[in-house]
């Protein structure tokens, strides 16, 4: 598998990995009793040599001090303790040999605080150390082109290179997994904001939820949603051939049988929070709910369409951006969220049954009664169908027994 550039993981943040969970103040060498280094000892000996008298031949009269034995500046003090050139003066070589031997008791002395912590947590509080656990890693595997699905399991191993001691680190899968060519095509999300408005993201891994580009060197997005996402369309849709209505003053009565609708009873603002849309010839037709009757278990919506509005037609996937199989008109009942967020009260309601009645003019088409007002009708003879515009012979030029002349409204015929 070709190497790929890895993305920096958030596990590098403080407090999220195992090593950073232990407070630095509880480490063994956080406050050592003796924190001096060989350099510190050398500089301290140089200062001490300046105030100590040196006696040469006459023990009663000092001939100077000991500073000439430690004639070095701070830069040389950094280099001398680790020098192995072999040209060091004998007295300095003996001095540094002593300092190296002093590291052993110094280490024992500096572990006093660690032994004190062990005594407190293990002997006094009786804390027990957890057993060691296997190291874990997350692997991202991708098949090469034209490769079949492949199963990997505990029998396989993956190399992570060598550690500081030169030992190869091998990782074994914890369970069987089938690697195939499936990929995540898109990420979407739904979020209920603090203001009670339901929001949605068509592209969740973007800056604004709708595909906006990231800004800054470290792109970040909200996997669980944010109030900056656009408002979602919440509601339901019904499809029925009886909704085909071409012209005239039209009325739709929708009766819904509900479960969990006890909170709706007596709420006078229901008529103001619903928006109704129907599939029209030029797009969606937006109408308002004129009246609502609610008894808790039943909800009745009275929807009016004026005569000046366009015809209600079958749903067109390209025109209405909505799919319906088999083709039929669609009515959507959407919740107005901005004016009065009511999703919290309506979230637990389920629609068990729905019944639609349609009226055109003053007559109810559902009862199949003649409709009032003028409308084009269709005449059908035995061998031809036509909509009359000019005079014609109803029984042809040569009438014969058995010929008839039925007539009907096209809109009425589709609803049979």
345-387: per-residue pLDDT in tens? 778 788 888 899 998 875 444 433 333 333 444 444 444 445 5
Q: Cβ(30)–Cβ(106) under 8 Å?
A: no
pLDDT at 11 over 80: no
The confidence score (pLDDT) of residue 406 equals 62
Closest by alpha carbon to 409, among 343, 338, 360? 360
The alpha carbons of the chain give a radius of gyration, in whole angstroms, of: 44
- Beta strand pairing status for 150-152 and 177-179? antiparallel
Average pLDDT over the chain reads 79
Structure tokens at 283: 């797009």
Cβ burial of 357 (10 Å; 0-12, 13-18, 19+) is middle
Give the helix/strand (H/E) hosting 349. Answer: none
Structure tokens at 51: 């105030």
Q: Compute the distance between CA of residue 136 and CA of residue 175 in angstroms, rounded to an integer.
A: 13
- DSSP, collapsed to helix, strand or coil, labels residue 296 as coil
Interval 390-395 mean pLDDT: 66
213-253: per-residue pLDDT in tens? 888 888 888 888 888 899 888 888 999 989 998 888 899 99
The confidence score (pLDDT) of residue 5 equals 47
Distance spanning both ends of the chain, measured CA to CA: 64
Closest by alpha carbon to 234, among 126, 332, 351, 368? 332
Cβ burial of 138 (10 Å; 0-12, 13-18, 19+) is exposed
Q: Compute the distance between CA of residue 84 and CA of residue 91 in angstroms, rounded to an integer.
A: 15
pLDDT at 280 over 90: yes
Q: Is the pTM of this model over 0.85?
A: no
84-142: per-residue pLDDT in tens? 777 778 888 888 888 889 989 998 888 888 888 889 888 999 998 888 888 888 888 88
290-336: per-residue pLDDT in tens? 777 777 688 888 888 988 899 999 999 889 988 887 889 999 988 88
Closest by alpha carbon to 386, among 402, 363, 364, 410? 410
Closest by alpha carbon to 96, among 84, 86, 107, 81? 81
Please state, for a pLDDT cut of 70, what percent of the chain lies above it.
77
The confidence score (pLDDT) of residue 63 equals 85
């Amino acid at each position: 598998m070709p190497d790929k550039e890895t993305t920096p993981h958030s596990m590098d943040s403080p407090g999220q990995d195992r090593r950073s969970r232990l407070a630095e103040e509880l480490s063994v060498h956080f406050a050592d009793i003796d924190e001096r280094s060989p350099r510190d000892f050398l500089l301290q000996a140089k200062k001490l040599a300046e105030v100590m008298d040196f006696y040469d031949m006459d023990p009663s009269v000092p001939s100077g001090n000991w500073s000439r034995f430690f004639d070095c500046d701070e830069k040389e003090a950094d280099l001398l303790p680790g020098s192995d050139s072999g040209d060091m003066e004998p007295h300095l070589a003996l001095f540094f040999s002593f300092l190296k031997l002093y590291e052993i008791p110094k280490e024992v002395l500096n572990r006093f605080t660690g032994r004190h912590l062990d005594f407190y947590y293990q002997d006094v509080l009786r804390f027990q150390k957890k057993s060691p656990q296997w190291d874990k890693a997350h692997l991202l595997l991708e098949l090469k082109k034209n490769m079949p699905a492949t199963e990997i399991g505990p029998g396989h191993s993956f190399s992570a290179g060598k550690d500081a001691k030169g030992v190869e680190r091998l990782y074994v899968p914890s369970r069987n997994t089938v690697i195939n060519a499936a990929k995540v095509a898109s990420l979407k999300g739904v979020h209920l904001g603090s203001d009670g408005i339901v929001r949605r993201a068509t592209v969740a891994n973007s800056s604004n939820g709708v595909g906006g580009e990231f800004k800054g060197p470290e792109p970040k997005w909200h996997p669980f949603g944010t109030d900056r996402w656009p408002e979602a369309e919440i509601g339901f849709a019904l499809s029925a051939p009886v909704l085909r209505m071409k012209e005239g003053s039209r009325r739709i009565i929708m009766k819904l049988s509900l479960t969990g609708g006890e909170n709706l009873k007596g709420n006078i603002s229901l008529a103001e929070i619903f928006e109704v849309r129907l599939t029209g010839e030029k797009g969606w037709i937006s109408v308002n709910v004129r009246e609502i009757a609610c008894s808790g278990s039943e909800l009745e919506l009275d929807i009016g369409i004026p005569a000046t509005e366009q015809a209600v037609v079958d749903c067109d996937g390209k025109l209405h951006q909505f799919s319906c199989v088999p083709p039929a008109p669609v009515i959507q009942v959407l919740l107005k969220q901005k004016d009065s967020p009511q999703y919290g009260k309506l979230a637990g309601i389920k629609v068990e049954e729905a019944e639609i009645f349609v009226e055109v003019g003053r007559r109810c088409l559902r009862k199949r009664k003649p409709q009032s007002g003028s409308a084009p009708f269709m005449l059908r003879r035995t061998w031809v169908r036509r909509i009359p515009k000019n005079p014609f012979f109803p029984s042809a030029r040569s009438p014969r027994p058995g010929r008839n002349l039925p007539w009907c409204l096209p809109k009425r015929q589709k609803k049979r």
